[in-house]
Amino acid sequence: MSSTMSPDLAHIDSWIFDLDNTLYPADVAFFNQIVVKMNQFVSRYLSLEPVAALHLQKEYLAEYGTTLSGMMAVHGMDPAAFLDYVHDVDLDFLKPNPALRKAIAALPGQKYIFTNGSKGHARNVASHLKLFDLFDGHFGVEDTGYIPKPKAHAYDVFLDVFNVDPTKAIFFEDNLRNLEVPKELGMRTVLLVSDEDWSHEPEAARPAGANTEADFVDYVSNDLAKWLETHT
């Protein structure tokens, strides 16, 4: 363990990271590709005009946690084709960050990716970022029976699969509401923020802006690599 480990983190032996807009900066505009493709899929699947599909997509995001969950719950959609389509994106928007790789590699204990995307998406993105080999496990929405964060069930399944003690874990996430359950379970929480304009997303579901505060957030950072270097 690093001699500079923050006293508040000295007990941590499980490091859990969201994927999109967390293991890479939100301002690279990579995730917007997925948003566009989700709208295209919903529009075609339901024979809706794009504007109506976008409105419905955002309703489902706010109410069900993900567009996918809403489409499954309301329309009985098979998730496989949706996930394959929306995650078929250009990875060249993303650039590996050697400082982040070094910081994650130095962490003591186990390291995991926990995403509301698919396991394949996690593998593809983290591999492109030259980070995937550093993780002891990756966990996608299919592992929870397609029940996403922030539903408590998703976290319970994750903890059971990897035998993680939440009181010895820390969770890194860009979506504020996805940190409330981890905090209730006893985890330390880190909110990744950016200056991106997320006003087009439903307020309850949008990624964090630069000035977000909540009593279930222990730390806030706009630079994951720097935060890890400073605290561990």
Specify whether 19 is located in the same domain as 38: no
CA distance 115 to 222: 19
Q: Which residues of 217-231 are buried (b: 16+ CB within 10 A; e: fewer)?
A: bbbbbbbbbebbbeb
pLDDT digits (tens, 9 = 90+) for 158-174: 999 999 999 999 999 99
Distances (CA, A) of 60 to 67, 110, 209: 5, 33, 21
| Confidence (pLDDT) at 213 | 72
Decide if pLDDT at 35 tops 50. Answer: yes
Residue 2 in any domain: the answer is: no
Last residue of a domain, one of 63, 86, 109: 86
pLDDT digits (tens, 9 = 90+) for 190-232: 999 987 665 555 555 555 544 567 899 999 999 999 999 999 9
Q: Report yes or no: 50 and 42 within 8 Å, Cβ to Cβ.
A: no
Least confident of 11-15, 157-161, 177-181, 192-196: 192-196
pLDDT digits (tens, 9 = 90+) for 108-138: 999 999 999 999 999 999 999 999 999 999 9
Residue 108 in any domain: the answer is: yes
Residue 176 in any domain: the answer is: yes
Specify whether 19 is located in the same domain as 37: no
Specify whether 52 is located in the same domain as 162: no
Last residue of a domain, one of 86, 106, 129: 86
Complete DSSP assignment for 196-230: ---TTS-TTTSPP-TT---TT-SEEES-HHHHHHH
CA distance 169 to 135: 15
Instruction: State which residues form the domain around 138.
Output: 7-26+95-231
Specify whether 195 is located in the same domain as 134: yes
| Confidence (pLDDT) at 91 | 95
- Is residue 83 exposed (0-12), middle (13-18) or buried (19+ Cβ within 10 Å)? buried
Q: Mean pLDDT throughout 98-105?
A: 98
Residue 109 in any domain: the answer is: yes
| Confidence (pLDDT) at 199 | 58
113 DSSP β-pair partners: 17, 138
Number of domains into which the chain is organized: 2
- The edge-to-edge listing of strands for the beta sheet with 110-114 is 137-139, 110-114, 14-17, 169-173, 188-192, 219-221
Decide if pLDDT at 48 tops 70. Answer: yes
Specify whether 162 is located in the same domain as 48: no
Specify whether 100 is located in the same domain as 54: no
Decide if pLDDT at 157 tops 90. Answer: yes
Q: Mean pLDDT throughout 69-94?
A: 94
Specify whether 18 is located in the same domain as 64: no
Q: Mean pLDDT throughout 42-62?
A: 94
Specify whether 22 is located in the same domain as 35: no
